Amino acid sequence: MLSPAQGLTASWILREATTNILRHAEASTVAVSLRPGLLAVQDDGCGAGDAEGNGVRGMRERAAAAGAHFRLTSPSGGGTRVEVTW
């Protein structure tokens, strides 16, 4: 699926994303997608706020250090989506 280097980055980002969901999102469901070159975590919670906290900043920095693209969105239907692509 992912190379060992990608797997390390993906595991750290998955851990941080799920921590943020548990602490802040008030979500009832979470979906994790993992396939070659992609990690996506989506919840149905209250959505991402305007301010970027340390956790999001850390995910963005780790993705960049691994040569990946980090994207954080709040879809129109609610919730938050974290997506990392290589």
Domains of the chain plus CATH, in order, are: 4-85 (3.30.565.10)
Contact between 58 and 20 (Cβ < 8 Å):
no
Beta strands 80-85 and 38-43, pairing class: antiparallel
All residue ranges of the chain with pLDDT < 70 are none
3-state secondary structure of 69: strand
Q: What is the spatial distance between Cα 73 and Cα 80, in angstroms, rounded to a whole number?
A: 6
Q: What is the share, in percent, of the chain residues with pLDDT greater than 70?
A: 100
In this prediction, residue 29 carries a pLDDT of: 98
In this prediction, residue 51 carries a pLDDT of: 79
In this prediction, residue 49 carries a pLDDT of: 78
